[in-house]
Amino acid sequence: MKRKWIVSCLIVIFVAVIIIYASIQKKHTFTLAANDRNSFKSEQIQPLFGMIKVNSDCDTSVVFTDVETGETYTIGYITSGVSEKIRLKKGRWYTVEGTGNLTITPVNVRIE
């Protein structure tokens, strides 16, 4: 009886963690969209956890530039429909630049 109660509690906790994580991902997903797939665009983002995932609808390279230091981090090439991950410092603001519709998660976005 005690074992069933423990297993039930663990299942509830596991499901709650999945729901919370999915909610964070949905709330902190940003799509940098353009009218023209070939136009180059940029926006300022801040990683929520340090590791972010980037996806694009066209082949592109993506450059992240630290706003304070000017240091750059590059995803050399993303194939359309394939996502890549990059580790950035949590709490820092970065300018992200690329072509196509870039979907970046989990991040905060600076709106000016």
- What are the chain's domains? 2-109 (2.60.120)
pLDDT in 10s for each residue of the chain, 112 residues: 788 888 888 999 999 888 887 777 677 676 766 655 555 566 888 998 889 999 888 888 899 999 999 999 999 888 888 889 999 998 899 998 888 888 888 888 876 5
Q: What is the pLDDT of residue 43?
A: 80
Asked if 61 contacts 98 with a C-beta cutoff of 8 angstroms, the reply is yes
Q: What is the pLDDT of residue 85?
A: 93
Q: What is the pLDDT of residue 38?
A: 55
Q: How far apart are the first and last CA of the chain?
A: 57
Element (H, E) at 95: strand 94-99
Q: Which amino acid is at 101?
A: N
The tokens of 7 are what? Answer: 């297993």
